[in-house]
Amino acid sequence: MNAGAPRDPVPDRVEVVLVPLDGSPFSGRAVPVAARLSGKLDAGIMLFSAVPTEDAVPERQAELADVVPPCLGPVHRTVVVSTDPAGAIHEQLRELGRDRTLVCMASHGRNRSAALLGSVATEVVARGHDPLVVVGPHPDEHPGGHGVMVAVDESPASAALLPIGLGWARLVDEPLTVTTVAEPVPPPVRPDHPARRRFGPDGDVEMFLDSLVAPHRQQGHKVEVLALYDPISPASGLEVYLRDNPATLVVVASHARTGPTRLVFGSEAAAIVRRSPSPVLVVPRPDAR
């Protein structure tokens, strides 16, 4: 299968959680998250690393041998020689089966406008169009997060995230909540002139969410909605909520653009990755080019 060809963002099942490690303590933050996911998905774990030369292989193999994920399933370890880590990850995905493998990795997310620009995580999404679980700089300190949360905005493209969220909620056997974060504004003086928000849907936010999920509820799916309000940004509102209510996964959409000036995640999705205490499943937007 072509590594760059879009795939179904919800596999029938996940057999392997692939964890890229570069030998740094930061990259190891993805390991306990991957272990929790592997338990919920009844999947094995592969610890994977790419080194630039053959001489570096024994040392990296020894480092991976010392990493013992807290999981019950099988754990495999693989070290390859490559100067292109993202390309090596895609090759491993191809060998394992892209439709049966979930990548889970840590990312620093330093930049404020496009947090993962230029990182390996960005390359994995942009070049392969594969869903990716990203563990940001502030991983969940409360093991046992519960539920799948889909973060939407007022754009028409947000509706495409709902069936993806339903699919992943089914895979981990947990409830789905659809949420949006809106700037708090005073009630309108006239009902036909709602106050304008800097972010979030104008008008009644709860009504917006109920309308968005109505087609899926009519099909018999149980979907909760949650309107959050924050004066700073959507990422800030989600961070505050998730600190007290950690989730198994937070689902967001990326732009998945390609080219020398790509902004793969977009500013809001990047900010969510950077600030979320829960792991974030980044899904390439179906309408992205």
**Residue pair 106/24 in contact by the 8 Å Cβ criterion:** no
The first and second tokens of residue 167, run together, are: 């699919």
Residue with tokens 């509102």: 237
pLDDT at residue number 117: 37
The first and second tokens of residue 194, run together, are: 């709602």
- CA separation (Å) from 190 to 68, 202, 208? 61, 14, 19
pLDDT at residue number 261: 35
Spatial separation of the C-alpha atoms in residues 61 and 28, rounded to whole Å: 14
Residue with tokens 């990548």: 103
pLDDT at residue number 288: 47
The first and second tokens of residue 188, run together, are: 């309108």
* 282 burial type by CB count under 10 A (0-12 exposed, 13-18 middle, 19+ buried): buried
Spatial separation of the C-alpha atoms in residues 238 and 21, rounded to whole Å: 27
Buried b (16+ CB within 10 A) or exposed e, 83-108: eebbbbbbebbeebebbebbbbbbbe
pLDDT at residue number 285: 66
The phi-psi region of residue 123 (left if phi > 0; otherwise alpha if psi is between -120 and 50; otherwise beta) is: alpha
Q: What is the pLDDT along the chain (289 residues), one digit of tens a residue?
A: 445 555 667 889 999 999 999 988 889 999 999 999 999 999 999 999 999 999 999 999 999 999 999 988 899 999 999 999 999 999 999 999 989 999 999 986 554 433 333 478 877 877 767 789 999 877 655 556 899 999 999 888 888 999 999 999 999 999 999 999 999 987 766 766 767 899 999 889 999 999 999 999 999 999 999 999 999 999 999 999 999 999 999 999 886 454 433 444 567 888 898 889 999 999 876 554 4
Q: What is the DSSP letter of 11?
A: -
| Domains with residue ranges and CATH for the chain | 13-106 (3.40.50.620), 140-289 (3.40.50.620)
pLDDT at residue number 260: 37
pLDDT at residue number 158: 86
Q: Which residue type, as a one-letter code, is found at position 64? A: L
